[in-house]
Amino acid sequence: MSLAARHLEANGIPTVIMGCAKDIVEHCGVPRFLFSDFPLGNAAGRPFDGESQALTLELALRVLETAPAARTTVQSPLRWTEDAAWKLDFSNLDRMTPEQIAERRREFDESKAIARTRREQA
């Protein structure tokens, strides 16, 4: 998605990204980025929380209209939960049992095979 933003921007269309993966988006390098420190899947705001979603959009629009230069990141002031413990869980093998790890490996191989078939058919 960052690559698409860069391509639009380079061709005259100003862009803003709403996202939750700060390091990945900034590593690519994008013109404007509204970062929400939320679990992946909630880039547009907290589920079932219209106020959070409205604020997230408004912040993104303000980043779009006021960014002074490329690589402008603004972090939303919203927090997912007061306790930040959720951040320790994502793809963290230290928190999984050997059985869970084996299951993850099986799922990964299976998904890859499905995606390959679908891509070849597309």
59 binds another protein (CB under 8 A): no
Task: Provide the CA 23 distance to its chain's centre, in angstroms.
Answer: 9
- Least CB distance to another protein at residue 33 (A): 10
Whole-angstrom distance, CA of residue 60 vs CA of residue 80: 18
Neighbours of 9 (CB within 10 A): 16
- Least CB distance to another protein at residue 113 (A): 8
Record the tokens describing residue 44, joined without a space.
Answer: 């547009």
Q: Which of residues 18-57 bind another protein (CB under 8 A)?
A: 18-19, 21-25, 27-31, 35, 37-48, 50, 53-54, 56-57
Q: Which of residues 89-118 bind another protein (CB under 8 A)?
A: 89-93, 101, 104-105, 107-108, 110-112, 114-115, 118
8 binds another protein (CB under 8 A): yes
- Least CB distance to another protein at residue 97 (A): 14
DSSP secondary structure letters along 88-100? GTTT-GGGS-HHH
Record the tokens describing residue 5, joined without a space.
Answer: 């933003």
